[in-house]
Amino acid sequence: MRTDLAASYGEERLPRYTSYPTAPHFSPAIGADTYARWLSELPAGASASLYLHVPFCREMCWYCGCHTQIARRDGLIAAYQRTLRSEIVRVAETIGRRIKVEHIHFGGGTPTIMAPEAFAELMAAMRHAFFVLPSAEIAVEIDPRTLTAEMVEAMRLSGVNRASLGVQSFDPVVQRAINRVQSFEQTASVVDMLRSAGINGINFDLIYGLPHQTVASCLDTVRRSLELAPDRFSVFGYAHVPSFKKHQRMINENHLPDGLARHDQACAIANALKEAGYVQIGLDHFARPDDAMAVAFKEGTLRRNFQGYTTDQGEVLLGFGASAIGHLPQGYVQNQVQIGAYAQSIANGHLATAKGYGLTDDDRLRADIIERIMCEFSADLGDICARHGAEAGAMLQSASRLKSLISDGVVRLDGERLAVASDSRFLVRSVAAAFDAHLDPVKQLHSRAV
């Protein structure tokens, strides 16, 4: 990987392109009435994925960029779970039929902060409202510091088959600097509990670019993680945006690595995981060669949504909970971010949609190009444009940012086929951004490119 390119492009603030257009472009013009109409218009054969956002944690990790808050009282969590159940019923009634569900993902926050019986009730409500396929992937994000044996049993009985464990770093110095002290032994114990319960799909989340982090500490975290043999890794660069996430002000910026140091950490982690036999997938995922995600990457069927890379082929994502985002053929919708406002909307018998975005034909075309670049590091512009009734030449002409990327050797263009150079794949977001008609380079709304 080229350090000269990391220096040239690494400080750019760019989206992670889990959607196109990205969430900052959502508008209050798309509200509950629009969402209800879109739901009622879903085609008869449509299947869906479900995302449930649980915005509570026992304590705040200072690096966190999620919509979450500290919950000391269990009553607050129980009330939220009841609101989620009501929203599930409301959405299902608006659709008007029991559609198929192929994926369910619990995110947060800490989804397992719910009481085990409340989690089981929520799963039962989803199975009643929707036809959850026997083969459905049901995934839960987990904080290993708080998971109990009772919750593992509730997950097992509810059909959970994948767990994503937040690890971030095993370096105690880094852990103290981000207010997340989590021992290797805690993590190993949780992995053992999950596998004993038959929950064998194990993902680890790691982060680079944290305060006091070094290449050596990153590699030590990878080494220890490999002892637990997860199926997948997600490796993210820390996004320091204290103007948006005030708790990040607790992190001393003087202790953060610069762009080149972040680049070195990302490269070191990637090389170590590949040497251990994992396949690098897209921007930030790694999987065992026989894992479904690695197979999808090899076969060119990998997708990208708000949970990152996915094997989910569906065009409908229904989001439940405060701040949750959904994706339908017509566009995107997002619920009220504030928990109180979200709960009040549901209590009043309404959908909780606060804003969204209606897709244009040009948006759909660019979204397809960006997704292929993010998933495959390449895109056949001729084929994609033809499917959308557009001209590849016109699309290339509109992508003015491509010129410098081509001249710097980041991108190769063979006729109408674009490919990211193998030593420049860490800049895939920069390449995708060349096709982003909505990107405002002045507004610092996103994380650094490296």
Task: Please state, in angstroms and rounded to a whole number, the distance separating the CA atoms of residues 12 and 267.
Answer: 18
Residues near 195 by beta carbon (within 8 Å), at least 6 away in sequence: 202
109 annotated ligand binder: yes
Task: Select from 358, 375, 400 the last residue of a domain.
Answer: 358
110 annotated ligand binder: yes
Task: Please state, in angstroms and rounded to a whole number, the distance separating the CA atoms of residues 15 and 414.
Answer: 26
Query: Are 273 and 129 found together in one domain?
Result: yes
387 annotated ligand binder: no
Nearest to residue 108, comparing CAs of 151, 53, 161? 53
Query: Are 288 and 424 found together in one domain?
Result: no
pLDDT at residue 426 in the model:
86
Residue 412 lies in a domain: yes
221 annotated ligand binder: no
State the pTM of this model. 0.93
66 annotated ligand binder: no
Task: Please state, in angstroms and rounded to a whole number, the distance separating the CA atoms of residues 217 and 331.
Answer: 42
Peptide bond into 198 cis (omega under 30): no
Query: Are 104 and 216 found together in one domain?
Result: yes
- 47-83 per-position pLDDT tens digit: 999 999 999 999 999 999 888 999 988 999 999 999 9
pLDDT at residue 447 in the model:
53
Residue 263 lies in a domain: yes
Query: Are 249 and 108 found together in one domain?
Result: yes
198 annotated ligand binder: no
Residue 10 lies in a domain: no
87 annotated ligand binder: no
Q: Domain span at residue 49?
A: 15-358
CATH number of the domain bearing residue 206: 3.80.30.20
Beta bridge partners of 162: 139, 201
**Looking at this protein, which amino acid is placed at residue 328?**
L
- Classify residue 37 as exposed, middle or buried by CB count within 10 Å of its CB (0-12, 13-18, 19+): exposed
44 annotated ligand binder: no
Nearest to residue 166, comparing CAs of 178, 154, 149? 178
Query: Are 413 and 338 found together in one domain?
Result: no
Query: Are 432 and 398 found together in one domain?
Result: yes
Residue 8 lies in a domain: no
Task: Please state, in angstroms and rounded to a whole number, the distance separating the CA atoms of residues 208 and 263.
Answer: 9
Residue 186 lies in a domain: yes
3-state secondary structure of 79: helix
pLDDT at residue 147 in the model:
97
Query: Are 93 and 200 found together in one domain?
Result: yes
CATH number of the domain bearing residue 434: 1.10.10.920
Q: How many domains does the chain have?
A: 2
65 annotated ligand binder: yes
168 annotated ligand binder: yes
Ranges of the chain with pLDDT below 50: none
Altogether, the residues listed in the chain come to a count of 450
Residue 57 lies in a domain: yes
108 annotated ligand binder: yes
Query: Are 188 and 267 found together in one domain?
Result: yes
What are the start-end ranges of the E strands in 314-365? 317-320, 325-328, 331-335, 353-358
DSSP structural state of residue 97: S
